[in-house]
Structures are given as structure tokens and as C-alpha cells.
């Protein structure tokens, strides 16, 4: 779909390699310093990935740090959010976080350098810290890049090896392959040790590679501490336009601190002060290396949002009968007039009526199949690039199955629109498994959420339009049966907000 | 671990093959009849799997239908629960459901032949209907068979192809391979069509096979309508003691009704009356074939529950400080004296203190790694065989990530014990992603749930013991920090129920 060719990377010079080594040492030193100062955090999980991130930062990431919202910027998501010391040390290396903030505010109350990254930091796209979510979110970002923005930015994701046990990772790779997301690269830090002992596959790189390959991505196995090998792998990842790449990097946990390298029992523990001092000294001591990352090439998104576009909502006379799910589909189709509206389906679009949108705007309709976690993650990822994504499925599965993704969308302060149909006991014949009964309680417990439960077609149409411009997590609950229209539709429906949403909270 | 060798199947005779063909025709006829009578249901998804189930029923399933609770029985789980017409038609074929009940009560209010199977039927282990859950549950049953009961029963699972998009399926296969569950066979009905058009992989059997192989199971690709090929595959599955098998059966949706075979638009639709009549006639008309399935070989579970075993709960004096998570671990270890108690960990047992149990009873401690959906599913599966499973992780992930599995455990009326630690805002330094804030609201919305939130060590210990004998879903919320003991522990703690549980609902 994209017409852009990635700019080839020139071969790494000896000077660059040396710079990268110094950068990696600084990232390690800073990861140790900030976590020891905080007396908590995950330095050993940061140390294993320092070489990977040093090469990425110096050689491959294209990012304008002064303009984090720039459409052409690459995206960097730490799916292993607990490696936040490393991420924040990278921010220091590029000059957007000062040494004092890094060392003295990390994990402190009121500070923005939280234990796990959130978008209170302008360079963080999505909150991570619930494992197995960063890569699925990144699929949404990459979908935006390839199919909507049509810009050559890349999405880089640092994954842990433990999180590859989460099914959501495989939902993500499956969809990344299906949608030919050559703009997506996952870098897996295979350091063999989880929180509580060895991971299931430890350093069985071949097994990882076969899984990745079978799910449709290009696997590249490397030594994650070999600067040249890392650079070559990242270059190869950039040169495959139609297939995602997973770099499987064999690493050593706590690499750079020999006395605890590859040792169990050091997950999520700051180094004691004396050990930290020894380690920092052995790594060359604190430094003030400042890295200039490449800027993205200029470009303009193929889609320009048009929130003021004329939308002709469907209308029903008082007394006319329509199922609210059908009203949802009709309203959604009308909203297709706004080019920033995108729809995600969980292989039930013919029943939820989300599928109606496909006829109106096939290029902005993404089939996620029966993978509700990825359904929500894609919506979150698309929201990173400003797209207004509606994700729809049966209410029983839309809320419960990906509930942790909805929870994390709240932490991300993401704006996503969820529509669950066939809600409640009305689907009696299908049995209790098909009845959404827990959805209202569950959703309302999530930060920044609102629940909308319209009684008829006109209110549904109005609320669907209102959702598009409502920040936070909005959830519309629709039914299968036809209900009689009781609301008189306003003529100027464009600006009218339904009464039931006037008390809706918004994200702070 | 198991010392049993599976009984080899004798070669299929021509008479058996003919019987199976007649059985398959009857299963098809009955699937059509009951769904057309109900004017709803999923006949086409039943027709595609009729040959698979006919061979299984006549040749491989070992089940005493008069004693569904028999420890030695095989287990049959329809992960594609919407194929309930087929399952119920099998029940009719073995004589436990009468023709009148099947045809006239299917999907009717008050009937037990619900749209998706639940354990209100004595032959149904777990409720299905939320795709991607039957196979994970079956992993729990198979764990019980291999490691606890140590009996040669097999667990057979019928999966749909659409549900292979769910990450939970891959969590399940991963764990099945890791735990060498040769007693587990998944039969995937690859009929190419989902609810809303073709599945992602359609009939790409090779891709499916590579994924299955990479995740540690034996893939066998067959024509799902070739009686001999099915029989051979099921025989091969039984002959591999230490590896699960996934039979990938290429099938045709609506097989047996040529006018709608392999056609989109017929998912979840009963055949119209005239079409049903034509189809039933072409299939030979209604019949009354009665199948006698093989009985299981006699056997006794290796573990005999001992709910009256002496349990010495840990004790703390008033004023003594202990973290409730530590009290949980200590109480759990004490409960190891009861051989029916089993513990499941999500790779954080050192933090939740679930790991304490490992020292007391390593054979009853199962590591699920970072796969919370499988963590809950394993508990549900173990409960099928009467084991009292405690599943523990950080509260933030234990409830939200597998919430749909907890919901379905409620539909299954399963008894499972969940313990989430590090609950609430006390983990401030770690950031909001690590804080369980939604857990109480979410869990309490699930049928048959109770939430327990003890303030100190003594009440925690008491409640953990109470949970073991509490039916339904009990969730204990524990904290990281040390709290001062304020409750005076009763001497006869064995029988005392904590006050806070006296209002607890129980499953009906």
C-alpha cells in the first residue's frame, strides 16, 4: 500500500561503533543510578537490552525530539515497560530529560518518570507495564502508518521474553503478518530469566524463530550484545517492506554487572548502593554523552481529519422500529464522511452492523477476526496517530475478553470507542455465555470510561456521533431486537449532544 | 509421569465404517432437525464436524454414560460450543438424551439443551460459547489426568478454525506441549468459513500445521470427511504418550446439504423448513441408531481427597506484623496437607508467595508463566476433576487479563480460588498499570463470586482455608505491605469461618 521506500542505512563506521559502545555504557550506568537512587525498579532487565537500544537510537530511529507529535516520527514502544530505566536513560541521552530529573525523580510521587511508562511523557505513545500489550498496540500504530497516513515511519517495539507467553503477542504477530506490516519491528530481549526463575523457552532461539516464522513475521536471531549483528538485523528489518520482523536477541540479564549477570533472583531489584557504585565505576562512571538522532524525512499524512465534515445521520420517525445495532451501523456509515473515522471488527460485522461501514469506506475498515485483545489494541494504536477508531463485537466478548486492554487504555488516557451488541439477557436462546451481564460494572470501573445504553434508533445515532468527539473510553451497548423510536430527532444533529452524555467524565 | 499405556485400537472393519457413516448421517439429520425446529442455532457448523465426531464416538471415546462423574472417563469438550446441535445429537446417539427432548426442547426456555453447552448437562465439563476457552480448559483436565489422577483417560476437544485466532489457544497449546500432555487431542474443524466470511487462513492447512508444530504439539492434517483418515489420526493421537496432538481436519461447512455447502452467509442460521426437509430426506431421513461406546478401563485416581486432613494454619499474635500475601503463602503451604489442593502460578510465585506451596507439595504446583488466561483455564479444568485449585498472580493482571475466563467459570458454575496480591494503590512507585483498582467491581459482577479482602495475617490465613471449601469463585485480595495483626486467632481454626464470608453466595 505504501509507495515509500525506506532509506537504506549506510554501513556502520568504526567511530559510530565506538560511539554506540559509549552510549550503551551510559545507558547502563544511568539505568543503575536512577533505580538504585529510587531503591526500586528493574535495572537488570534494562541492562540486557542496552546494546539493542543504543544501536537503534544512534543508527535507526528517526525522531524529532522537539516535536514528538510530528506525523512522520518513528514510534518506539517498550512492551517490556518495566525496563523504564533504560527508556528514560535514552531520553536523557537525546537531551529531553535532564540528569537531575532522571536520577532524582524516577519513581517518585508526582514525577513523570513513573515505574512503568505512560503518555504523561510526550514521547510515550501508550502505557505499558501489563505484559503483552505494547506489541499489540504497535500493530495499531503500524496499521495507521501503512494504510492511513501512508508515511514511511517505522514502529519499533522492545519486548521481553517472558511476555511471549501471552497469547496476545501471537494475536499481534498474526495480524501484523496478515496486514503485511513491514513497518513494524519487534526486538525481543531474550535474557532467559523471568521474575521467578527461567522462562519457559530460556535461550531456545530456534523454537522462538519457528513460532515467529509460522505466524508470518521474519525472524532474525542474533547475539543481542554484538553491535554489528544488531545493526545488521535492524537494517534487514527496514529492508523488508511487506513483512514484519522479529529480532530475537539472545542477551544476558544484568549484562555489564558481572557479579549478577545471568543470575536468578535479581528481577525487579535495584542494585544495593555499594554494588551500584562498583558497577558504575567498572562501566566507566557517569557520562554526559549526547546523541543526535536522525530526523524523519518530511511528509504529510494521506488522510487529513475533517471533524467538521457534513454528516447526515440516519433518521427514524417516532414509533418506527429499528434495532439499536442497526442504528449504530447506519450512523457509523454516515460518519464515514469524516476521513479520520476508522472501524475495527471482530469477525462479526454482519451481526453488529459495524460491517455497514465497510461499504462506505472499505479502506478504513480493518478485520481483526476473533481476537478481541488485538481488536482493542488496534484501536489504541490507531488513536496514537489521532484516528477515531470504533471497535465492535458482541458485548459479551468485547468487554470481558480484552478487559485488561481496556484497563490499560484508561492508563494510556487513550480515546477509543467500543460498541457491544446483543447485550444483556435478550439473547436467551443462545445461553448465558452469550449474554453481556458484567459489562457495565466492568467498564465503569475503568478510568475515563462512560457507558451509553440507548433505547431507540434516534438516540443511538446521536450517541454514536457524540462518541466520535468524546475523549476517553466510551462504550455503547446495543441490542439485537427492534425497539420503537421514542425520541424526536433534532434537525441540527451535528452539534447536539444527547442528554445522557452531559454528565460524562473526560480525561484530565 | 503416567505409567499407563493406551490400549491400541484394532483396525476398523468394513462394518464399523458403515456404522460410522450411518451414525454421521444421523448426527447431521438430528443437527438439522433440532435447529430448524428451534428456528435458530448453528447447523452448518455442526455438519462440518459430524464425520469427525462419529468416528470419535464409535471408535475412540471411552465413556460410561451412566456414570458421567467416573474418574476414568474420557472427556469431550466442544471448544466450538456453537456446534451444540452436533453435541446433543451425539448424546441422543448414545441414549442419554431422548429424541423428543432433542427436537422439541433445544434452545427452549427452561430446557437444559441450551444454545451453547453448560454443565447443567452431566456430560458437559465446562461451559463453552466464548471461543478459545474449551481447549485451555481441557489443558487443566489433562494436567489432572497426567500428574494428579495418573489415569489413562484422554481429553478430546473439538475446536473451530475461527477460534484459532484467539491468543488463548496458543497459550493452551504452549502449556500442553510444555507439560507433555499426550493425553490431550484437539480436533480442529477447518471449515474455512467464519461467521462473517472466510477465516484468516481459510484452508491453508500447512500454515496451521507449522504453527501447531512450533508450539509443541503434533499436527496431523487430514480430510475431515474421510472416515479412515479420521480413524487413523485419532489412533496416532492416542499413541503418542508425551506430546499433545492437533488434528487439523479440512472440512466443508454444511457438509451433507449440497445446496449450501461451503457457502458464506449460513453461519448461525437454521435451515428453513423446506430446505431442512429436503436435506433430511437426502441424508436418509430420521433414524434411531444407538451407539455403544467403549467403557473406560477400571482405575483409581492416584490422589484421594482428604478434606478432613489436619491443617496447622500459621499463627500471629495480636500486634505482630506480616504482609497478607505472606500470610496467604504460609496458609497455602499449610493446606498442602490436603492432597486435593493444587496451586497455579503466573511466574510471580516469589512475590505472591504462592511459591511457598512449591516447597510443601512440588507435584501439585504448576507454573503457567505469564499467561493469565491459561492460569484461570487450568484452574477451571482441574476443578472438573474435583481438585481445589488456587490461581495466584498480581491482582492487576489476575482479574483483568483473564476476565472472560472468570466470567465463563461463573457460567460453568466452576469452583476456583483466585488470589491477587499487590492490590490497590500501595504499589505507587510502580505506576498505575500495576495497580488493581477495577478488580472488586469486575469480579463481583460475575455470577457466584465473592471478594475477600483481609486486613491482617490471621484473617488471611482463616480466609484462605475457608476458600478451599467455598463453592463458586472466591477471590482474595492481598497486599504487599506488612500490616499489624488485630484479629485474635481461634484455636479450632479448622472449622471456623471468618465472619466476612457468612454472607457469601453459593452456586445454586
Nearest CA in chain B to A351: B196
Could you read off the pLDDT of B49-97 as tens digits, one per residue? Answer: 999 999 999 999 999 999 999 999 999 999 999 999 999 999 999 999 9
Assign B247 to helix, strand or coil: strand
Q: Which residues contact B206 (CB under 8 A, 6 or more apart)?
A: B221
Catalytic residue among B277, B372, B426, B438: B372
On the question of pLDDT at B497 being above 70, the answer is: no
Nearest CA in chain A to B402: A401
Strands B365-367 and B388-394: unpaired
Assess contact for A417 and A468: CB atoms under 8 A: yes
- Domain boundaries along the sequence of chain B: 15-282, 321-501
Is the predicted ipTM greater than 0.90, yes or no? yes
- Separation between Cα atoms, residue B322 and residue B316, nearest integer Å: 8
Q: How confident is the model at residue A7 (pLDDT cuts 50, 70, 90)?
A: low
Could you read off the pLDDT of B396-442 as tens digits, one per residue? Answer: 999 999 999 999 999 999 999 999 999 999 888 999 999 999 999 99
On the question of pLDDT at A498 being above 90, the answer is: no
Could you read off the pLDDT of B445-479 as tens digits, one per residue? Answer: 999 999 999 999 999 999 999 999 999 999 999 98
Closest CA–CA distance from residue A113 to any residue of chain B (Å) = 9
The cell for B302 is 492416584
Contacts of B445 in chain A (CB under 8 A): 437-438, 440-442
Closest CA–CA distance from residue A167 to any residue of chain B (Å) = 4
Classify residue A319 as left (phi > 0), alpha (psi -120 to 50) or beta: left
On the question of pLDDT at B499 being above 70, the answer is: no
- What is the CATH T-level fold of the domain B321-501, as seen in this structure? Rossmann fold (3.40.50)
Interface contact B118-A433, CB threshold 8 A: yes
The pLDDT score that the predictor gives to residue B505 is 40
Contacts of A433 in chain B (CB under 8 A): 81, 116, 118, 127-130, 408, 411
Interface contact B347-A195, CB threshold 8 A: yes
Q: What is the mean pLDDT of residues A226-255?
A: 98
The pLDDT score that the predictor gives to residue B8 is 59
* Identical topology for domains B15-282 and B321-501: yes
CATH of domain B15-282: 3.40.50.970
Per DSSP (E only), the strands in B92-217 are 155-160, 184-190, 193-194, 197-198
Per DSSP (E only), the strands in B335-477 are 341-345, 365-367, 388-394, 416-421, 449-452, 473-477
Closest CA–CA distance from residue A166 to any residue of chain B (Å) = 5
C-alpha A36: how far from its chain's center?
Answer: 29
Could you read off the pLDDT of B91-138 as tens digits, one per residue? Answer: 999 999 999 999 999 999 999 999 999 999 999 999 999 999 999 999
Q: Which residues contact B30 (CB under 8 A, 6 or more apart)?
A: B85, B88, B89, B92, B93, B102, B103, B286
Q: How confident is the model at residue A6 (pLDDT cuts 50, 70, 90)?
A: low
Assess contact for B301 and B149: CB atoms under 8 A: yes
The pLDDT score that the predictor gives to residue B489 is 79
Cβ-Cβ contacts under 8 Å between A and B: the total is: 228
On the question of pLDDT at A502 being above 50, the answer is: no
Interface contact A130-B433, CB threshold 8 A: yes
Q: What is the mean pLDDT of residues B164-190?
A: 98
Nearest CA in chain B to A173: B167
Could you read off the pLDDT of B42-54 as tens digits, one per residue? Answer: 999 999 999 999 9
Q: What is the mean pLDDT of residues B468-494?
A: 86
- Separation between Cα atoms, residue B143 and residue B166, nearest integer Å: 21
Q: What is the mean pLDDT of residues A272-295?
A: 98
Which position has the grid cell 518530511?
A298
Number of neighbours of residue B104 by Cβ within 10 angstroms = 15
Assess contact for A142 and A172: CB atoms under 8 A: no
CA atoms within 13 A on the CB side of A492: 2
Mutation test of the interface with chain B: which of A79, A188, A430, A447, choosing the one with the most B Cβ atoms within 10 A? Answer: A430
Percent of chain A at pLDDT > 90 equals 91
Assess contact for B416 and B448: CB atoms under 8 A: no
Interface contact B129-A81, CB threshold 8 A: no
- Separation between Cα atoms, residue A2 and residue A176, nearest integer Å: 15
Amino acid at each position: 500500500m505504501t509507495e515509500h521506500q525506506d532509506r537504506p542505512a549506510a554501513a556502520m563506521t568504526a567511530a559510530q561503533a565506538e560511539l554506540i559502545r559509549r552510549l550503551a555504557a551510559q545507558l547502563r550506568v544511568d539505568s543503575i543510578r536512577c533505580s538504585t537512587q529510587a531503591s526500586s525498579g528493574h535495572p537488570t532487565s534494562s541492562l540486557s537490552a542496552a546494546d539493542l537500544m543504543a544501536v537503534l537510537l544512534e543508527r535507526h530511529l528517526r525522531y524529532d525530539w522537539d516535536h514528538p507529535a510530528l506525523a512522520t516520527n518513528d514510534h518506539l514502544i517498550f512492551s517490556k515497560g518495566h525496563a523504564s530505566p533504560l527508556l528514560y536513560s535514552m531520553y536523557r541521552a537525546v537531551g529531553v530529560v535532564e540528569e537531575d530529573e532522571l536520577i532524582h525523580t524516577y519513581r517518585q510521587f508526582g514525577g513523570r518518570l513513573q515505574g512503568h511508562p505512560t503518555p504523561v511523557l510526550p514521547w510515550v505513545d501508550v502505557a505499558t507495564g501489563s505484559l503483552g500489550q505494547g506489541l499489540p498496540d504497535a500493530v495499531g500504530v503500524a496499521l495507521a502508518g501503512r494504510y492511513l497516513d501512508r508515511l514511511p515511519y517505522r514502529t519499533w517495539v522492545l519486548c521481553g521474553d517472558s511476555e511471549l507467553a501471552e497469547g496476545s503477542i501471537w494475536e499481534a504477530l498474526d495480524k501484523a503478518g496478515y496486514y503485511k506490516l513491514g513497518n513494524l519491528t519487534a526486538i525481543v530481549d531474550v535474557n532467559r530469566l523471568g521474575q521467578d526463575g527461567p522462562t519457559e523457552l530460556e535461550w531456545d532461539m530456534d523454537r522462538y524463530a519457528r513460532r515467529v516464522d509460522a505466524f508470518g513475521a521474519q525472524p532474525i536471531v542474533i547475539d543481542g550484545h554484538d553491535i554489528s549483528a544488531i545493526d545488521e538485523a535492524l537494517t534487514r528489518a527496514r529492508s523488508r517492506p511487506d513483512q514484519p520482523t522479529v529480532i530475537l536477541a539472545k542477551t544476558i540479564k544484568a549484562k555489564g554487572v558481572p557479579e549478577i549477570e545471568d543470575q536468578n533472583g535479581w528481577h525487579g531489584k535495584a542494585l544495593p548502593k555499594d554494588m551500584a557504585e562498583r558497577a558504575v565505576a567498572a562501566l566507566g562512571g557517569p557520562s554526559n554523552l549526547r546523541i543526535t538522532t536522525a530526523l524523519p524525512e518530511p511528509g504529510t499524512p494521506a488522510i487529513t481529519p475533517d471533524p467538521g465534515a457534513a454528516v447526515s445521520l440516519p433518521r427514524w420517525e417516532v414509533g418506527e422500529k429499528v434495532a439499536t445495532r442497526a442504528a449504530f451501523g447506519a450512523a457509523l456509515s454516515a460518519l464515514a464522511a469524516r476521513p479520520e473515522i476508522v472501524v475495527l471488527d471482530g469477525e462479526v460485522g454482519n451481526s453488529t452492523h459495524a460491517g455497514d461501514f465497510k461499504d462506505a469506506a472499505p479502506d478504513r475498515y480493518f478485520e481483526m477476526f476473533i481476537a478481541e485483545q488485538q481488536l482493542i489494541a488496534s484501536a489504541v494504536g490507531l488513536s496514537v496517530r489521532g484516528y477515531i477508531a470504533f471497535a465492535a463485537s458482541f458485548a459479551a466478548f468485547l468487554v470481558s475478553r480484552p478487559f485488561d486492554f481496556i484497563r490499560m487504555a484508561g492508563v494510556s488516557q487513550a480515546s477509543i470507542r467500543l460498541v457491544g451488541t446483543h447485550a444483556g439477557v435478550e439473547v436467551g436462546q443462545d445461553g448465558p455465555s452469550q449474554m453481556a451481564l458484567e459489562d457495565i460494572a466492568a467498564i465503569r470501573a475503568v478510568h475515563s470510561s462512560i457507558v451509553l445504553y440507548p433505547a431507540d434508533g434516534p438516540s443511538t445515532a446521536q450517541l454514536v456521533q457524540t462518541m466520535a468527539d468524546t475523549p476517553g473510553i466510551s462504550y455503547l451497548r446495543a441490542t439485537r431486537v427492534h425497539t420503537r423510536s421514542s425520541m424526536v430527532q433534532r434537525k441540527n444533529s451535528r452539534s447536539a449532544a444527547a442528554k445522557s452524555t452531559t454528565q460524562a467524565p473526560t480525561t484530565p
